[in-house]
């Protein structure tokens, strides 16, 4: 199945390698107008986040700027905040408590893998 888009960061944050993303569901939180839960491949190594051998397979994305949207994405690349869920493994609730996520990166979404690698914008 083709990815919905690709996540990468030129600023590091362990996200230099593009990751395929699939939309799972929108989320809401008192701290963010729009959040989007995505499945990623390859996963992020969990050890730097205190997770031992448990890798991070899902991320929570939020637009970086007011007026920007992730549903639909109308501007590429789309600058975003990348967070991870701090609650117990398993199902992530649709309504997240204010302290349920941790910001781990700033990154960009790209329509294609070559665009995420810095090549053709897609």
pLDDT value at position 121?
55
| Beta-carbon-side half-sphere exposure of residue 20 (alpha carbons within 13 Å) | 7
The pLDDT, as a whole number, for residue 115 is 95
**pTM, two decimal places:** 0.91
What pLDDT score does 13 carry? 63
Residue that the structure tokens 């700027």 belong to: 65
Q: Judge contact between 102 and 10, C-beta under 8 A.
A: no
pLDDT reported for residue 6: 97
Bridge partners (DSSP) of residue 63 are 80
Considering only CA atoms, which of 33, 86, 87 is closest in space to residue 62? 33
Boundaries of every domain in the chain: 5-116
CB 86 within 8 A of CB 99: yes
Beta bridge partners of 110: 6
Q: Which residues contact 72 (CB under 8 A, 6 or more apart)?
A: none
Q: Which stretches of the chain score pLDDT less than 50?
A: none
């Amino acid at each position: 199945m083709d990815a919905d888009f690709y996540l990468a960061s030129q600023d590091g944050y362990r996200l230099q390698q593009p990751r395929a993303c699939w939309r799972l569901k929108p989320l809401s939180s008192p701290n963010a107008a729009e959040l989007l839960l995505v499945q990623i491949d390859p996963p992020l190594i969990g050890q730097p986040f205190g997770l031992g051998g448990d890798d991070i397979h899902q991320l929570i994305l939020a637009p970086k700027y007011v007026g920007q949207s992730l549903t639909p994405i109308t501007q590429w690349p789309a600058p975003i905040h990348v967070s991870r869920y701090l609650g117990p493994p398993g199902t992530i609730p649709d309504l997240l408590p204010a302290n349920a996520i941790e910001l781990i990166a700033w990154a960009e979404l790209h329509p294609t893998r070559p665009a995420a690698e810095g090549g053709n914008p897609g």
